[in-house]
A and B are shown apart, each in its own frame.
Chain A
């Protein structure tokens, strides 16, 4: 009952204030300028020397990478939406947002919701200059959505759907609804040695190392920068 009364009083007070403001003509004074927020997020990366030590890029390469990075994201960090927009521009026919989401989670190693230049460059260092073992590790980390050390069929299905989404609908042959599922089945048949329904990191690495195609394609992007 007392809370009701308090609320009544508050409402009356607000109404009286409103009448007062109406009379003195100051109704809108303070509601105008409060929407301009300071964009508080600004991130500056570590110095060139530290990054050179942390990654396998040399100075020049880091400079080139940073310039591109900074152009697209002047605030110094990429959030997930910007990431999706950037990645989608490479795949205009399809919808790259789901795969970009998984990529983002793979790059954002400290899980703070944004990819800073350090995260970005360390991820690239593994992908472009790392050993095959490291690359496979990274790929496993990408597929393992909940990072529990096992790839389940559901996780793989999500990844597969995301990859197929990038193709869009104008494909030949026609994309059917269960194409991703079939692909997942093939993948599991190849990778899941003990048939327990999940793929562990060892099974994954073993199987990939025994597959010539995969090994060869891992070396594909060595000279990208």
Chain B
């Protein structure tokens, strides 16, 4: 990645001309630019591995890179060869395509690397030969799914956009309970109440002993009717409130109402309200009793809480075709066997097979190898038909099941992988963030090394991988600073200056301030007088602090970075004088000494010098 970005550096520097007319300060001089020697050889020398082939071979396919004049861009005169800085292993397959006309896909290569090489050399992947095409397609689909998964989970776990309305926050809390404590509490409370409600439904049918003046056993529901009614009311109220809140927070209400979970919610709470409405009407109380059955749908509300349930549901949905086929073939078989059975047993006396639909029950029980034994054939023909039925039942049911099972397994493993990847991604992002902060520090480090006599030593700290790139890049960032009259600083200075601004708003307590902000300010006193003379022209830079105590604080803050020797400061002063003639800029240049030397004692993470070189080296590759 670094090579690619380094190649675009000239473009980024050229684009900096766009800032020039706007800048109010003169630009720093660019670093000396020794002519880079042409790096690399050029030819069908692919990363050092030499390939040779006839020119005609390549020109068989004139719409690809190697077959057209585009390859002239890669010609290297000195060694008289064409050089490509690409993967030689994959290049083998590409060259073979020119030779044999068939493109193969190596199984051990990564699919995205292979795709990139094909794109670079201008070959469309559709010409992969039949022998390797299926494998290629499968791998590619897997990759797409993985990328899609990553994007989805990224969208879900994104940082909260700063100005989300209350409604959006609520919806987010409902959909991802782990985003806030309130959401988590709500999630568990509803889960608990679903469980309580389902348990109550189950327990109220258990026989609970007899009433004192009756003989019959009564169920617990009738005995403690009031208690169960109160419990039911409480649960339904919670469910209703939850449903209404979700309805209110949903970004698209119509979509929400159409969704499966919302239908389940409605079905779960409707029986209660219908029961409230029609408790006194005798005719429909029978129907009302059946409605109570729907209360069991509350258990489906658990699918919001369980990923496994959702996967199961999703599998069934995605296997709808196989399930449908299974059902249809079973129905066919049932009808056939029931008919034959009926006619076979018609002759025998006291036969249980009174009609064909009655024989359905026998056929189903036999085909699924249940065999209750409540209906048994008595004639010989009946028994023969019965045995054929049970044998074929095993076959018909066993065939579609593995397809469903493999679907479930694939989806389940995918979700497992997604979880694992999410966990890995967090650590990966953490490491990348640490490198990036190293990048910022590298520039600040560069600024201190820029004009000191220890330039050589400084560059020894700076990375060896691509020093030219670094100096040019740092010069570019310096130009941006000059254009906008603001400097880059690192996090700590930024926070302390924020602190300082907020302190400016309230009456400051100077002792606490000085003690708080100058852990390094031991030798500040001696320097304060010297710096004071430079403070005056720069006071407008600090955003109008009039209060002398603020000046004190600004001195403190600004002096924290300055722990380098005074000789280096003077050196910087001398350097910058010929460059800028205006007073403010001189002080600005002096002030911008970096944090890193100061933070070394207190910030063990990224500030020690070996770590610096590490961070610097890493920075280029991270780019």
Q: Which residues from A are CB-within-8-Å of B439? A: 92
Among B1-9, B229-237, B262-270, the one that faces the other chain is B1-9
B8 in complex: contacting residue of A68, A92, A128, A160, CB < 8 Å: A68
A22 in complex: contacting residue of B75, B325, B481, CB < 8 Å: B325
User: Using a CB-CB cutoff of 8 Å, which residues 224-280 of chain B contact chain A?
Assistant: none
B-side interface size class: 35 or more
Rounded to whole angstroms, the CA-CA distance of A168 and B579 in the bound complex is: 26
Q: Which residues from B are CB-within-8-Å of A124? A: 10-11, 14
Contact across chains for B480 and A166 when beta carbons are under 8 A apart: yes
Cβ of B525 within 8 Å of any chain A Cβ, yes or no, is: no
- Least CB distance from B231 to A in Å reads 43
- Least CB distance from A141 to B in Å reads 10
B484 in complex: contacting residue of A23, A38, A163, CB < 8 Å: A163
Given contacts A74-B120, A163-B480, A170-B440, contact A103 B15 (CB under 8 A): yes
Interface string of A166-184 (1 = CB under 8 A from B): 1111111111100100010
- Least CB distance from A83 to B in Å reads 10
Cβ of B183 within 8 Å of any chain A Cβ, yes or no, is: no
Rounded to whole angstroms, the CA-CA distance of A163 and B74 in the bound complex is: 36
What are some 18 contacts across the A-B interface (CB < 8 A)?
A22-B328, A25-B322, A27-B324, A44-B68, A44-B70, A45-B70, A65-B10, A90-B5, A93-B488, A99-B18, A139-B18, A170-B488, A170-B493, A174-B497, A183-B485, A213-B26, A221-B14, A223-B33
Cβ of B543 within 8 Å of any chain A Cβ, yes or no, is: yes
Contact across chains for B17 and A27 when beta carbons are under 8 A apart: no
Given contacts A48-B73, A71-B4, A142-B18, contact A28 B321 (CB under 8 A): yes
Q: Which residues from B are CB-within-8-Å of A216? A: 26-27
Contact across chains for B22 and A220 when beta carbons are under 8 A apart: no
Rounded to whole angstroms, the CA-CA distance of A89 and B542 in the bound complex is: 30
Contact across chains for A138 and B17 when beta carbons are under 8 A apart: yes
Cβ of A16 within 8 Å of any chain B Cβ, yes or no, is: no
**Which residues on A are within 8 Å of B, measured CB to CB?**
21-28, 33, 35-36, 38-39, 42, 44-45, 47-48, 60, 62-72, 74-75, 86-87, 89-93, 99, 102-103, 106, 120, 123-124, 127-128, 135-136, 138-139, 142-143, 159-160, 163-164, 166-176, 179, 183, 186-187, 204, 208, 213-214, 216-218, 220-221, 223-225
Contact across chains for A217 and B23 when beta carbons are under 8 A apart: yes
Contact across chains for A71 and B3 when beta carbons are under 8 A apart: yes
Q: Which residues from A are CB-within-8-Å of B120? A: 70, 74
Q: Which residues from B are CB-within-8-Å of A63? A: 73-75
- Least CB distance from B56 to A in Å reads 21
Cβ of B498 within 8 Å of any chain A Cβ, yes or no, is: yes
Cβ of B436 within 8 Å of any chain A Cβ, yes or no, is: yes
User: Using a CB-CB cutoff of 8 Å, which residues 485-503 of chain B contact chain A?
Assistant: 485-491, 493-494, 497-498, 501
Rounded to whole angstroms, the CA-CA distance of A143 and B85 in the bound complex is: 38
Chain A residue at smallest Cβ distance from B27: A217
Rounded to whole angstroms, the CA-CA distance of A53 and B493 in the bound complex is: 51
Contact across chains for B33 and A92 when beta carbons are under 8 A apart: no
B480 in complex: contacting residue of A28, A106, A167, A186, CB < 8 Å: A167
Cβ of B291 within 8 Å of any chain A Cβ, yes or no, is: no
**Which residues on B are within 8 Å of A, measured CB to CB?**
3-27, 29-30, 33, 38, 68-70, 72-75, 85, 116, 119-120, 122, 124, 126, 137, 140, 144, 320-322, 324-325, 328, 436, 439-440, 473, 476-477, 479-481, 483-491, 493-494, 497-498, 501, 541-543, 591-592, 623
- Taking A71-B85, A220-B16 as known contacts, 20 extra A-B pairs with beta carbons closer than 8 A to each other, sorted by chain A number, are A35-B144, A64-B38, A70-B73, A70-B120, A75-B119, A87-B15, A99-B18, A102-B18, A103-B15, A120-B11, A124-B10, A139-B17, A139-B21, A166-B480, A170-B489, A170-B490, A171-B494, A220-B20, A224-B10, A225-B10
- Least CB distance from A69 to B in Å reads 7
Contact across chains for A135 and B17 when beta carbons are under 8 A apart: yes
Contact across chains for B321 and A21 when beta carbons are under 8 A apart: yes
Contact across chains for B24 and A186 when beta carbons are under 8 A apart: yes
Closest 10 CB pairs of A and B: A68-B7, A27-B321, A22-B324, A25-B325, A127-B14, A170-B494, A217-B27, A171-B486, A74-B120, A172-B489
Rounded to whole angstroms, the CA-CA distance of A103 and B328 in the bound complex is: 63
Residues of A contacting B: mostly: helix
Given contacts A135-B17, A171-B489, contact A33 B137 (CB under 8 A): yes
Given contacts A48-B73, A63-B73, A224-B14, contact A168 B543 (CB under 8 A): no
Rounded to whole angstroms, the CA-CA distance of A172 and B5 in the bound complex is: 28
Chain A residue at smallest Cβ distance from B115: A39
Contact across chains for B498 and A42 when beta carbons are under 8 A apart: no
Rounded to whole angstroms, the CA-CA distance of A136 and B18 in the bound complex is: 9
Contact across chains for A187 and B17 when beta carbons are under 8 A apart: no
Q: Which residues from A are CB-within-8-Å of B592? A: 172
Rounded to whole angstroms, the CA-CA distance of A218 and B328 in the bound complex is: 79
Chain B residue at smallest Cβ distance from A65: B10
- Least CB distance from A158 to B in Å reads 12
Rounded to whole angstroms, the CA-CA distance of A135 and B14 in the bound complex is: 10
Rounded to whole angstroms, the CA-CA distance of A33 and B623 in the bound complex is: 36
- Least CB distance from B497 to A in Å reads 6
Q: Which residues from A are CB-within-8-Å of B324? A: 22-23, 25, 27
Chain A residue at smallest Cβ distance from B83: A67
Contact across chains for A171 and B321 when beta carbons are under 8 A apart: no
- Least CB distance from B392 to A in Å reads 18
Q: Which residues from A are CB-within-8-Å of B486? A: 164, 167, 171-173, 175, 179
Q: Which residues from A are CB-within-8-Å of B3? A: 71
- Least CB distance from B186 to A in Å reads 34
Q: Which residues from B are CB-within-8-Å of A65? A: 10
Rounded to whole angstroms, the CA-CA distance of A220 and B11 in the bound complex is: 14
Chain B residue at smallest Cβ distance from A140: B21
Q: Which residues from B are CB-within-8-Å of A139? A: 17-18, 20-21
Rounded to whole angstroms, the CA-CA distance of A217 and B121 in the bound complex is: 40
Contact across chains for B10 and A204 when beta carbons are under 8 A apart: no
Given contacts A66-B73, A92-B440, A213-B25, contact A176 B321 (CB under 8 A): no
Q: Which residues from B are CB-within-8-Å of A225? A: 10
Contact across chains for B322 and A224 when beta carbons are under 8 A apart: no
- Least CB distance from B271 to A in Å reads 31
Contact across chains for B18 and A47 when beta carbons are under 8 A apart: no
Q: Which residues from B are CB-within-8-Å of A171? A: 486-489, 494
Contact across chains for B440 and A93 when beta carbons are under 8 A apart: yes
Chain A residue at smallest Cβ distance from B24: A186
Q: Which residues from A are CB-within-8-Å of B7? A: 64, 67-69, 71-72
Rounded to whole angstroms, the CA-CA distance of A39 and B118 in the bound complex is: 11
Q: Which residues from B are CB-within-8-Å of A90? A: 5, 9, 12, 473, 476
Contact across chains for A67 and B74 when beta carbons are under 8 A apart: yes
Contact across chains for B320 and A22 when beta carbons are under 8 A apart: yes
Given contacts A70-B73, A163-B22, A170-B490, contact A218 B17 (CB under 8 A): yes
Q: Which residues from A are CB-within-8-Å of B29? A: 220
Contact across chains for A92 and B436 when beta carbons are under 8 A apart: yes
Rounded to whole angstroms, the CA-CA distance of A93 and B487 in the bound complex is: 12
Q: Which residues from B are CB-within-8-Å of A39? A: 119
Chain A residue at smallest Cβ distance from B144: A35
Contact across chains for B26 and A217 when beta carbons are under 8 A apart: yes
- Least CB distance from A88 to B in Å reads 10
Q: Which residues from A are CB-within-8-Å of B74? A: 63, 67
